[in-house]
Each structure stands twice: as C-alpha cells, then as structure tokens.
Structure 1
Amino acid sequence: MINKLRWKPVIGAAVLLLLAASILAYFFFFKTLHIQVNGMITDGNIELQAKDVRLKKIKSGTKSSIKSKDYFTIYQLSSTSLSRHYGTLTVTVRKLENNDMFVFTKFQNETTRPSTIDFSLSFKKPFTNYTVTRFHSEKIKHEHDSTLGVDPTSTPHGLVELKGDNAYANMVISKNYNSVPFVKQYSDTRKSQLRELIKETDETKITGQGQRIVIHMPHVAKRQSLSESWFLYSSQPLFQNMENFKEWEKHTLKEYKKINKWYTADGPFGKLPWSIEPSTKFGYGRYFALVHDRRYADHYEKTKERYFYDFILNSVANLLNYGAQLGKPIPTEITSTWLKNNYGITAPYYDTRFNEYIAIYLKRISKLFNIPEYQDIALFYADYLLDQMEKKNYIQTENGYIICDFYGNTQKKKTHASLNHSLGEMNFLLESYLETKKEAYLTAALHIKAGIEDIGDRWIKDNKDLWYQLNPDLTFHGTDYPLLTLEDLLKAQKNLEKVGVGRSLVFDRFITSKTQYLVNHNIEMTKAVITSLEEGGFGDLVKNYKNVSDY
C-alpha cells in the first residue's frame, strides 16, 4: 500500500506534464495564428499598417509593361515582443494606363501553425454605402473531367459598387487560394514546377464602420504554405451596362474551367491534368492556354466595357512576366508524365499549340490597342516552325511533312503530331505569309498541307469523327476535340483561298465528316461554328440544328 501511495504523485506529475505538453503543442502547431493587417486604398496605391505585429519592408521595386506598371513591396511579418518570424507578405499594385489598378497579395506562412492574415481594406475616399453583385458560384457543377479530374475553383466573390458624397468606385474581389509549391528538380537548370491547391475559400465580408466602408479579405494559410488573393479597383464603373455583366457571368459559370480565377502577380494558375510531375490530383500551374485570356478580348470587342479592357491589359502584363522570353518560343514549365514516359520529355519543353495561342493573342492585342511591335513579335512562332523543319522534327509523308507537337532537349524520339496542331501551324504560316510575303512561310505551310492530304481519308474514323493524332509509325490514336479541329479546318479553307491556292478537297471531306459526327451524336456546337459552316457552304449539314450555344 505504501509503494502505491508513493507512485501517485509521480503519476499525477506525469499527467500534468503531458497535459501541459498537449496544450503547448496545440498553441504551437494547431491553433490558428491571427495576424491583423490594415490597408488604406487610394486611387493609385495601397498603404499598409499592422496591429500587434511588426511589418518591416524588406524589398520593393517596379516593372514596366505595355500600358501598365507594377509596384511591388515585400514585407516581413514578425512578433513585436518575441523573436518570432511569421512569414512574408508581398503586395503588387499593377497600375493600368486608365488609372485602374489590380492588387495582388501573397502571404507566405513560414510557421508550423495554420495562420490567417486578417486583411482589412478601407478607403481614403468617403464611401458611405455599397452594393455587391455576386457571381453565383453555387450554380457551378464541379463534375469529374476525364483529363483534369475535379476542379474545385470557382468564380470571384463579386462586383462591389462603392458610393459616397462625390465619391465612387467599382471593385472585383477574388476568392482566396491556399497552396503549396511543388517542384521536381532534374538538374541545376531543369525543373518542373506547379502548385498543389489546398483550398479555395470565400470569407470576404464588407462592413460599414461609421462613415467608413471596410472590406475584410482573410488570407488563410495552412502551415508553411502560400495564401493569395487579388482585387481590381476602379474609380469608374467597370460595366456601363449590367446586362453585359450578366452575360459574362453566364459565360464564366458555363466555362469556369477555361476562364481564369486564381490570378497572381506572376500570372494565372489553372487546373492541370493528373498526368503531371510532381504528382498530385489538385495540381495547378501557369500554362499558356490560359495566360492569354482570349475570352475577355472576345467580350471586349462586342461590348467595349472597361472590365474586359482591364483584364486584357493584365494578361499582357502576365505575358511580359516571362521577360526576355517574349519574342521567342516560351517553354512549358510543367512535366507531363505522358510525354515523359512515351518520349523522355521533361520540363522545360516546347508545346507548339501553346506558343501558337500566345502568338495569335499578340497579333490580336496589336490590332485592338494599336501596338505595332506586337505584330512583329508574334512572328517568333512562324520562325519557330521553320526551325522545327530545319531540325527535321516532323513526320515525313510522300509529298510533305507534319511537324511534331512537342520538342524538348531530353526527348529520346519524335512525338506524335495531332491534326489540330498541324492545321493551326499551317494557318499561322499562311497568315504570316500574307502579312510579310516571306516565301519561306508559304512554302512551309504548303508542305504541312501536303502532309495532311497525303494521309487523306485515313484521318476519318468509322464513326465519322476524326483521329486526334498521327504517330511517327503512321498509326492513329486519340479522341478529337469536339469543335477545335473543325474550327481550324474552316479557317484553313479561308486562308488557302486568300493566298490563291484554293480550297482543299480533302479538308472539305474532313469538315463534312466531322460535322455529320457532331450532328449524329447531338453534340453542342457554338453559334460561331454554325456561322462558319454556313459561310463555307456546309449550311445544309446543320440546317435546323438545335443544340447550339453562345460559347
């Protein structure tokens, strides 16, 4: 009995120590650390102050773009009483030529605790009331995609209108994106880099405090992760006609996977396929099918709304974030395990279609905003295609050749060539010839045309659809896009007529077969495709067709 009594104080002390350790562990590893940061917005800047936290400026700078300029500041966040470093907060103000501004915020949580920056924004102007027009994200069906899996991201928080005595502003406020960088290093100069999304959150709240409007944008960050948000601020209405906003919302809800939501100062991040390295089902990366934001340009051409204009200028700045690379082919920075396993290609490598998108967008911006140097820069892609021919990175046919879709320094053999890539390349070369009269462009385009025609009707499947790709051994594989290749074919026929070559009878058969396949399977077509079919003499194939959308 005496021995048992002696053990009781020891056991009690151990329990107390264990309890104390648990409490300490909770506070150091599990309890969310809240950091209060306040921002004051003027028409051209944002000023920050922190409460109970040391906010130290450690770096700042500027970067000029076409019709915009970036001002970035990196702050170090640390305790005012202890020698504790919480992380960094980077604020980038992108001032546009019309005095509107994008503000990108990035909190890098360097602690072992989940941390939230309670980020509050007030205004120098005397705003006294506000309205919020929400994007109805709840209407999005986050369905599983056979290539991308599920994309849980959605539309921005909403469009905010601020009013007061002689004061007005419009804002678009984003959701918050918490992620961790994923990097696979192959050598000192080669790596694949992406992000793994932890969570998209929407905790934005707007309150009225006396004569002040305050916007609360929490930046939620799990331990040792990044938390990013953005907003657009204008002292003018972003939409003169709210019907245009409703139309844009309708578009974004329908095509939410193809329209950017997660913007950063370094460019937008979009959902990646599962076949990536490093591997994750929630991988997001900067890839160029998204950077160019062409859907904003589509709507701007129709409406001339300030909202779309601002996002176009933002996309131009994002392209220029690649610095000296603009004006020459831009490599993809994410490894596709499909390309790696089949051809030995790892990042960085060149994707012909993505570079084509960039070049086409540069031409479009050149015309929209009268920037002639962009028209010349865009020719980098035509020269890249000539270079691929010099390297013999193509599949040879009897009378021509078809350029392979990808090229990388690590590849062990030639890749496939997809029909949509080949048609896109041919179209770009034909259009470049029309602009410059450089015979090499026309010659290369006609060689690609001959290569496609040499394969001929073998491109057509038994069900009337088209094969996606031609392999170097002249076998076929893959499911064609619903509309992309058809659009390329219709465009090709117009371009061939413009250069005086005349329509391709083989392409006409492809168009007829593909359209019949779409009709037979009641696959949705856009109004633009229907119009192109009618203009191209294929109207009878889609006469009275009902499954037609705006986009």
Structure 2
Amino acid sequence: MIKKFKFKHIIGMLAAFLFIFIGIQVYFLFFKTLHIQVKGNLMNENVELQANNVKLEKIKSGTKTLIKSKDYFTTYKLSSPQFSREYGKFTVTVRKLDNNDVFVFTKFQNQTKQPIIIDLSLSFGQDFTSYKVTRFHSEKIKHEHDPTLGVDPTSTPHGLIELKGKRAYANMMLSKNYNSMELIKKYNQTQQSKLRELIKETDGTEITKKGHHILINMPHFAEGQSLSESWILYSNQPLFNKKENFKEWEKHTLKEYKKINKWYTAEGPFGKLPWSIEPSTKLGYGRYFALVHDRRYVDHYENTKERYFYDFIVNSVANLLTYDSQLNKPIPTEITSTWLKDNYGIIAPYYDTRFNEYIAIHLKRISKLLDVPEYRNMSLFYADYLLKQVKKENYIKTDNGYIICDFYGKTQKKKTHASLNHSLGEMNFLLESYLETGKKEYLAVALNIKKGIEDVGDKWIKDNKDLWYQLNPNFTFHGKDYPLLTLEDLLKAQNNLEKAGINRSKIFDQLIKSKTQYLVNHKIEMTKKVIASLQQEGFGDLVKNYTNISDY
C-alpha cells in the first residue's frame, strides 16, 4: 500500500514537473520577447541582410523608378530554424535620389502574437574612425492636448550623425522607431478606411565603434501582430553646410512637431489624425494630405538651399507617386471622418478640396525647384476638378454667385458645408491658374466664388470679431476659424485680384480688418509673414507695435 502511494506520488511530481517544463517552454516560445539579430551593409542599393539566430529567406525584390529617385526594395521572410514557425517579414527599401543621397526605409511585420525585437545592426563600406551625434532636444516638446487631434506623443528624429575617416565622410539623419497596428474598416468591395494605431515611439538607437568600423544599431520593437518602422537619410556630403540652419530647423521642428512629419515609410509619412475617424482610436495616424506635401521643407530650402531640405522635397514627390502613380487627377482621402459620415453619409475614399489644393500648390512649387516643367501642367488638375464640381452643382448658391462645397464623395446623401478658408483657397488657385493659362473658365468660376463670399458679406463676422469657419447649405454658420490660415487666404486673394486686373474686394478688406483686430485683441501669435502681408496690403496700422510675432 505504501509502495503504491509512493509510486503515485512520484508520478504526480513528474507530471507537475512536466507541466511546469512545458509551461516554461510555451512562455519562451510564445510570450517572452524574442530578440532577432539582423545585420546589413548600408552602402549597397540592394541591402543584403544576414541573421544569426533565424532563417532569413529573400522572397521578393524589385525596383520602381520615380521622379528624380529610384526605389530598390527587398522583402525577407524570418522563420525559426528548428520549428516550422514563421516570425514575419522584414522589408528594406533604398530610395536613391538624383544627388546620390539615399533614404533607407525599414519595416518589420510581426506575424506572431509574441513581442519581437529585431536588433538591426548596420555597417558601412567605408572605414569611419569617429562619429559625432547632434540630437534634437525633443524633451522640450510640450505634448499638449489639441481639441481636434488630442495628444500627439511623437516627437523628432533621433538626430544628425557625422561620420569621419581618413578618406571617408558621411552625414546621416536617423529616425526613431514607430510600432503600430494597421486598422481597416471595410464597407464593401471597393470602399474601406485604412489607418494606423500608434503603439509606441521608441528611441533605442545606439552607435558603437569597433576597431575601424562604426555600427548603427536600430532596434525595431514590435508587439504581437504589429508593424515596426524606421528610416535613415544617408549622404556622402554634409546635409547642413551651416550649423545655424540646422539650429533653425530644430527650433521649427520643436515648435511645430505636430505639423512636421517624422514617421516616414516607403509608402509615405504618417501624421496624427483627429479623433473623429473610423476605425476609432485616439492614437490614429494616416497618410494625411495636409502633411504629405512637406511644405515646411520647401520653405526652408527656398531660404537656405541646404541639401537636407532638397532630399525631403524629392522624397515628397516619391511619396505622392507611391500613393497614386498619376498626379494629374484629384487624390482621394483614404480615411473616413465620422463627422462627415454622420452628417453627410460620406465614407472613404472621398475628395477633400483643401488637401488637393495643397498637393496642386506643391506640384507648382517643386516644378520650379526641381526643374520638372510637366508638374506645373499636372497641377492644373485641381482647377479642372473645381470646374467639374460646378458642373455637378456641388455648391451653395447665393444671390449672385456660389461657394463650392468642401467635400465630395459617391456615398454622400446631401451637400456638405463650405468653409471660408477652402473657398478662398479655391478662388486663389483659379485666379493663379487663369493668369498662367489665360483660360477664361478658370476666371469665371473664381469670380463666382468671389461673389458668393461677398453675398454672405459681414455675416461671416462673429460678435467677437473672429470669423465663422463654415457656411452650411441652410445658411447657418458653425465652427471656430483657424488662427491665421483664413487671414492669409484673404490677403493673398486681394493680391491675386489685383494681378488679374480686378478691383480689390471691399468685403474682403472688412473681413481682414475684423480678423486682425480679433487676433490683436486676444494677443494671438502672428507670423512675420502675416505681418508683412498686412503691411503690404495696407493694414500695417492694425499691427503697429504688435509684439507677439513668431518666425513661423
């Protein structure tokens, strides 16, 4: 009886031990963070990767020719050498620019439920003996709550790296790492809303020196079933010739971190989205066309001609072409706004007039900067789009003119509102297109929009002297106007009317005065550019001795 009891006891202990052993194995196999070491050489257009502790298999590679750049992409499958278990895919895209600088975009797709860190280590084909790191002071950023966007926890790139050797020199800008999940809401076979939910921005980059070699270690953190992305800009020339230009850019970046892209991918940059999106998340990011065009890089390049800004301008063209290979037509927004859906029945994809205006203006600017004349003609797609909206009668009719509605989508149940800043932007673009082409249809629609805004008149003005944001189809008003955007559009409109040989608008002058008085009364910051425009258009007295002025 005693022997039988001991035997059962031993069997029980063995079973318990086996259960614990299996549990430990399951934990290490499926739950503990897995580290995968991957090495590569940065000097090769087709970056060849090697892995120490996993099976690395090249499954796809190719090239894509863009404007003033070319992509070389390779995708690897990562799997266990002992078990039939696939960890995910790692894609490297080298975007070589016409000046021989390169962007390197890396993306790891974790296909398991287990957290994985890809310990990516990059070396160089040159012997660098020293390095210097200039960090962005991202700790100075105040991640304040925005009434539309909420809190944007993203910050800045890791920093600017200078590498030196006896016969070698290079500059790099290194990003931080972005871990996210792709969220998709499918409505039918042709319509869906697609965005990313940010899990975390991390900065685990380390630079080490081993003998005559410099290694860049950029870990890619990926929670289960998620994406992890980073980027590098590499040049054999200084990205900034003048230190003060970098300092000025850092100052701009820290102040306007929400408006300057930092999460770049081979498919384009991802920017913070409003809370009113579908699928719903407070940490939604998407290919947001208010940011894709990278206007601030263009502004700085025009003033400094620094290589760094040129590279990002060329990259912005590649991003647009990646989104849509044809830039001679409107580009739809791929993210559903629940505000538009609830009020008008509009779901993605749909057309946003202001976003397409940004793209068209960007094409005009880079046409000149990059000497790509065909882009100036392509930019006219937006003027033609506005003409088509008029033919569809997608506007709010006034006594003598009309105001084109802000949005258009196939599923919309009724006309949307028309915001003052959109309408002025449309009018300005049409006037400029008329001056370039002499096409009278552009002028006719521009003047009808002008009459539409003037018909509404001083009703645009609130009791506190600020302007209403939008006019609804039933002629009610709603929304808080932007601090400076509409004022900039009004000032630009008066200038464009003069260029077209048309008398300046008295109503526009009235709106400019009221908006400026509101800004002064509430001591709201104005930029040097706005102050200069006010002075140029004869409103200098309104801002005389005004001190709350910024560079941007």
Q: Shared fold by TM > 0.5? A: yes
Indicate the RMSD between aligned Cα atoms, in angstroms. 1.5
Distance 1:491 1:514 in 2: 15
| Superposition deviation, residue 501 in structure 1 | 1.0
Q: Which residue in 1 is equivalent to 2:164? A: 163
> In structure 2, the residue corresponding to 1:252 is in which secondary structure?
helix
Counterpart of 2:462 in structure 1: which amino acid? K
Do 2:144 and 2:151's aligned partners in 1 also have CA atoms closer than 8 Å?
yes
Counterpart residue number, 1:252? 253
Q: Please state how far the C-alpha of 1:305 moved relative to its aligned partner.
A: 0.4
On the 8 A contact 1:31/1:113 being kept in 2, the answer is: yes
**Is 1:395 the counterpart of 2:399 in the alignment?**
no
> Could you tell me which residue of structure 2 aligns to residue 117 of structure 1?
118
SS of match in other structure, 1:348: coil
- Distance in structure 2 (CA, Å) of the matches to 1:21 and 1:142: 45
Instruction: Measure the CA separation in 2 of the matches of 1:26 and 1:516.
Output: 65
Counterparts of 2:5 and 2:430 in 1: how far apart (Å)?
Answer: 92
Matched, 1:309 2:300: no
Deviation at 1:6, TM superposition (A): 8.5
User: 2:102 touches 2:234 (CA, 8 Å); kept in 1?
Assistant: yes
Task: Tell me the secondary structure at the aligned position of residue 501 of structure 1.
Answer: coil
CA-CA distance at 1:24 after TM superposition: 2.8
Give the whole-Å Cα distance in 2 for the aligned partners of 1:455 and 1:21: 75
Structure 2 equivalent of residue 332 of structure 1: 333
Amino acid paired to 1:275: S
Tell me the alpha carbon deviations over residues 278-337 of structure 1, each in whole angstroms, 9 at most, x when there is no partner.
001111000111110010000000100000000100001101112344110000000000
* Cα distance in structure 1, aligned partners of 2:25 and 2:417: 58
Contact 1:182-1:194 within 8 A present in 2 as well: yes
Assess if the C-alpha contact under 8 Å between 1:115 and 1:223 holds in 2.
Answer: yes
Question: Do 1:104 and 1:229's aligned partners in 2 also have CA atoms closer than 8 Å?
Answer: yes
Aligned to 1:31: 32
Higher mean displacement: 531-540 or 41-50: 41-50
1:30 positional shift: 1.9
- Which residue does the alignment assign to 2:520? 519
CA offset at residue 52 of structure 1?
Answer: 2.6
Question: What's the CA shift for 1:14?
Answer: 5.6
Residue 542 of structure 1 is matched in structure 2 by 543
Query: Matched residue of 1:25: which SS?
Result: helix
Structure 2 Cα separation of the partners of residues 17 and 440 of structure 1: 82
1:17 to partner: Cα distance:
4.6
Aligned match of 2:295? 294
* Matched residue, 2:270: 269
Q: Please give the secondary structure, in 2, of the residue aligned with 1:451.
A: helix
Contact kept, 8 Å, 2:45 with 2:72, in 1: the verdict is: no
Deviation at 1:54, TM superposition (A): 1.9
Secondary structure in 1 matching 2:469: strand
Q: Taking structure 1 as reference, are residues 281 and 216 closer, same or farther at Cα in structure 2, changes over 3 Å only? A: same
Structure 1 residue aligned with 2:20: 19
Q: Shift of residue 7 of structure 1?
A: 7.3
Q: Which amino acid aligns with 1:35?
A: I
SS at match of 1:90: strand
Shift of 1:20: 2.9
Aligned residues of 2:89 and 2:109 also touching (Cα < 8 A): yes
Query: Residues of 2 paired with 1:547 and 1:486: CA distance?
Result: 16
CA distance in 2, matches of 1:546, 1:278: 43
3-state DSSP class of the match of 1:290? Answer: coil
Q: Which residue of 2 aligns with 1:130?
A: 131
Q: Secondary structure at the match of 1:383?
A: helix
Secondary structure of the residue aligned to 1:433 is helix
So what's the TM-score if we normalise by structure 2?
A: 0.98
Deviations 1:159-217 (A, max 9, x none): 00000011000000000001110000001110000001111100000000111100100
Q: Which residue of 1 aligns with 2:51?
A: 50
Q: C-alpha separation between the residues in 2 aligned to 1:438 and 1:410?
A: 32
Query: Alpha-carbon deviation of 1:55?
Result: 1.6
Letter in 2 for 1:119: L
In structure 2, what is the Cα distance between the partners aligned to 1:11 and 1:150? 54
- The percent identity for this pair of structures is 74
Aligned-partner Cα distance in 1 for 2:53–2:272: 37
- Deviations for 1:443-476, whole angstroms, at most 9, x for unmatched residues? 0000000000000000000000000000000000
Q: Distance in 2 between matches of 1:199 and 1:274?
A: 18
The question of whether the paired residues in 2 share the 8 Å contact of 1:33 and 1:113 is answered with yes
Q: In structure 2, do the counterparts of structure 1 residues 90 and 43 end up closer, same or farther at CA, with 3 Å as the change threshold?
A: closer
Amino acid at match of 1:399: N
* Paired position in structure 2 for 1:217: 218
Q: Structure 2 CA distance, aligned partners of 1:390 and 1:191?
A: 28
Q: Secondary structure at the match of 1:131?
A: strand
Q: Offset at 1:11? A: 5.6
CA distance in 1, matches of 2:214, 2:114: 31
Q: Quote the Cα distance in structure 2 between the aligned partners of 1:481 and 1:22.
A: 58
Determine the structure 2 residue equivalent to 1:533.
534
Distance 1:211 1:263 in 2: 31
Provide the C-alpha distance between the structure 2 equivalents of 1:514 and 1:402, rounded to a whole number of angstroms.
Answer: 20
How far 1:59 sits from its partner (Å)? 0.9
The 2-side partners of 1:469 and 1:43 are apart by 52
Quote the Cα distance in structure 1 between the aligned partners of 2:399 and 2:417.
17
- Cα-to-partner distance string for 1:464-510 (whole Å, 9 max, x where unaligned): 00000000000000000000000000000000011111100000000
Aligned to 1:445: 446
Displacement after TM superposition at 1:370 (Å): 1.6
Tell me, in whole angstroms, the C-alpha distance in 1 between the residues paired with 2:12 and 2:273: 54
* SS of match in other structure, 1:42: coil
Whether the 8 Å CA contact 1:89–1:105 is kept in 2: the answer is: yes
Q: What's the offset of the Cα at 1:8?
A: 5.1
Tell me the residue number matched to 1:87.
Answer: 88
2: CA distance, partners of 1:246 / 1:44: 31
Residue 398 of structure 1 aligns with an amino acid whose one-letter code is D
Rounded to whole Å, the distance in 1 between the matches of 2:540 and 2:222 is 54
Separation in structure 1 between the aligned mates of residue 229 and residue 325 of structure 2, nearest angstrom: 26
- Amino acid in structure 2 at the alignment position of 1:548: I
Looking at structure 2, the residues matched to 13 and 357 of structure 1 have their Cα atoms a distance apart, in angstroms, of 70
Query: Are the counterparts in 2 of residues 297 and 312 from structure 1 also a CA contact under 8 Å?
Result: yes
TM-score w.r.t. the length of structure 1 is 0.98
Contact between 1:43 and 1:234, CA under 8 Å: does it hold in 2?
Answer: no
* 1:344 paired residue number: 345
Matched, 1:142 2:119: no
Deviation at 1:26, TM superposition (A): 1.6
2:62 alignment partner in structure 1:
61
Distance, in Å, in 2 between the alignment partners of 1:53 and 1:410 is 48
Structure 1: which amino acid aligns with 2:212?
Q
Q: Structure 2, unaligned stretches of length 5 or more?
A: none
Q: Could you list the runs of 5+ residues in structure 1 that have no partner in the other structure?
A: none
For residues 141 and 268 of structure 1, the distance between their equivalents in structure 2, rounded to whole angstroms, comes to: 22
Which stretch of the first structure deviates more once superposed, 80-89 or 138-147? Answer: 80-89
